[in-house]
Amino acid sequence: NAGVTQTPKFRVLKTGQSMTLLCAQDMNHEYMYWYRQDPGMGLRLIHYSVGEGTTAKGEVPDGYNVSRLKKQNFLLGLESAAPSQTSVYFCASSTRSGRRYEQYFGPGTRLTVT
Amino acid sequence: AQKVTQAQTEISVVEKEDVTLDCVYETRDTTYYLFWYKQPPSGELVFLIRRNSFDEQNEISGRYSWNFQKSTSSFNFTITASQVVDSAVYFCALGNSGYALNFGKGTSLLVTP
């Protein structure tokens, strides 16, 4: 099992460019999450999904969109990147309901917006 | 309101010293979960422990131990006989309501030879 994988691992964007981060999990988890980590901060939830075709906003959703077309994949999109979106992005997945806090994290994607 | 407080931003110890990382949490829920994660310089998040609110037993795993005290809303983490490989950022996290894990800001531990 690969667990949770993220593509790409690193990316540099110019202000205004767009990109999509891909998260994939092979654990058949229902729930998936996107967090961002900024220096000196813990992780903050951007968006999450409780099942295929469903998404919801987390604590810091502005400037991001997500899609969950397949159960195993969760995409995070930046339509018009801004320097404030320079961060490390972590994807996570978990089983449903009572065990939703047992989240398995991917290795992270380091994004720099210049 | 901040739900998880890790008051120690940075700690530096010499190898073989014991070190305790503090975590204070805030919640009104009776059912909640507490976690510790390690983030080494390579950047990934490594799960260390999960505790639910109904289990106040302390836990020991090798050189690691955790002290959970509901009376003081604390879930502290002690490394005994620290090693250079323990150098990392350590995060305490709370799962109580909603779907997010609420992370503290982390404590950066540096262990020098």
Give bridge partners of residue B12 from the DSSP assignment.
B110
pLDDT tens digit sequence for B46-87: 999 999 999 888 888 899 999 999 999 999 999 999 999 999
d(CA B113, CA B106): 23
Cβ neighbours for B42, distance < 8 A, ≥ 6 positions apart: none
pLDDT tens, position by position, A34-64: 999 998 888 999 999 999 999 999 999 999 9
**Cβ(B67)–Cβ(B80) under 8 Å?**
no
Best residue of A23, A30, A38, A43 to probe chain B, by most B CBs closer than 10 Å: A43
- Average pLDDT score, chain B: 93
Nearest in space to B15 (alpha carbons), one of B89, B112, B86: B112
Q: Closest CB to B33: pick one of A88, A101, A107.
A: A101
Cβ–Cβ of B93/A56 closer than 8 Å? no
The alpha-carbon gap from A35 to the nearest alpha carbon of chain B, in Å, equals 9
How many other C-beta atoms can be found within 10 angstroms of the C-beta atom of residue A67?
15
Nearest to A68 by CA among A56, A80, A59, A60: A56
Are B35 and A101 an interchain contact pair (Cβ–Cβ within 8 Å)?
Answer: yes
Question: Which tokens hold the place of A44?
Answer: 């903050």
Note the pLDDT of residue B98: 77
Residue of B nearest to A35 (CA): B100
pLDDT at site B18? 97
The answer to whether A29 and A92 have CB atoms below 8 angstroms apart is: no
Please say whether the dihedral angle defined by the alpha carbons of residues A61, A22, A110 and B25, taken in this order, is positive or negative. Answer: positive
Residue range B29-42: mean pLDDT, rounded: 92
CA dihedral B27, B28, B33, B38 (to 10 degrees): 0
pLDDT number for residue B2: 54
In this prediction, residues A86-101 reach a mean pLDDT of 88
